[in-house]
A and B are shown apart, each in its own frame.
Chain A
Amino acid sequence: DTGVSQNPRHKITKRGQNVTFRCDPISEHNRLYWYRQTLGQGPEFLTYFQNEAQLEKSRLLSDRFSAERPKGSFSTLEIQRTEQGDSAMYLCASVFQSSTDTQYFGPGTRLTVL
């Protein structure tokens, strides 16, 4: 399978716990994006990487959120001290920089905070 993969697919955690999600992009794609999607809404931009550099972060990304992309390959998104409002689908997308910059999405990680 050469698409974008995300793990885990589902995560249930208790309020106050830390969680970490992983995204493996398509291998030749140099850009990687994280989004959050709540029920009935479109994806909302969180942050993006060009290779290993984190170039932009949304104001939605509070201090409890951190993302990394060591070596410009896979990326992790960590949420510390989770809150019930963090419950959402977290989507990762990768882009091969081109004239269209089409984003290709992974299956997402659904987080439920109890």
Chain B
Amino acid sequence: AQKITQTQPGMFVQEKEAVTLDCTYDTSDPSYGLFWYKQPSSGEMIFLIYQGSYDQQNATEGRYSLNFQKARKSANLVISASQLGDSAMYFCAMREGHTGNQFYFGTGTSLTVIP
């Protein structure tokens, strides 16, 4: 079974609107971490936001927030007030265990912001 599933290969959003990128995960470990990364066309993976499995509050970092629904095993990324520079690939990732050795990545969602 896939550890991380991103079901949206491509998404479009109007500039200044909000967009939600979906991510579901699969683990039986009670301790895990969830991450979102942005990969522009230049190729570098840029860390955006982190959510720990025991965190009570949804994580927020500026315009990024993570909608964490533990029972449904989903960790959706919400980008508010989209900007043209947000156009990129977005990857959801998971680290299993308290200090897990491996990270698992999804297949990514390509976001295009329309002016």
Contact = CB atoms under 8 A, between A and B. Distances in A.
Interface string B2-15: 00100000000000
B42 A102 contact: no
Interface stretch (B62-70, B75-83, B104-112): B104-112
A33 B45 CA distance: 13
A103 B103 contact: yes
B35 to A, nearest CB: 7
A21 interface: no
A74 B37 CA distance: 23
Nearest to A33: B103
Interface of B: 4, 33, 35, 37, 42-47, 50, 52, 91, 93, 95, 99-108
Nearest to B51: A100
Contacts of A102: 35, 47, 50
Contacts of A93: 45
Given A56-B101, A103-B35, 20 more contacts: A40-B108, A41-B108, A42-B93, A42-B105, A42-B107, A43-B45, A44-B105, A45-B104, A48-B101, A55-B101, A91-B45, A97-B99, A99-B52, A100-B52, A101-B99, A102-B35, A103-B93, A104-B47, A106-B44, A107-B44
Nearest to A9: B43
A111 interface: no
Interface in A36-57: 40-45, 48, 55-56
A65 B46 CA distance: 26
A110 interface: yes
B33 A101 contact: yes
B43 A108 contact: yes
A97 B33 CA distance: 13
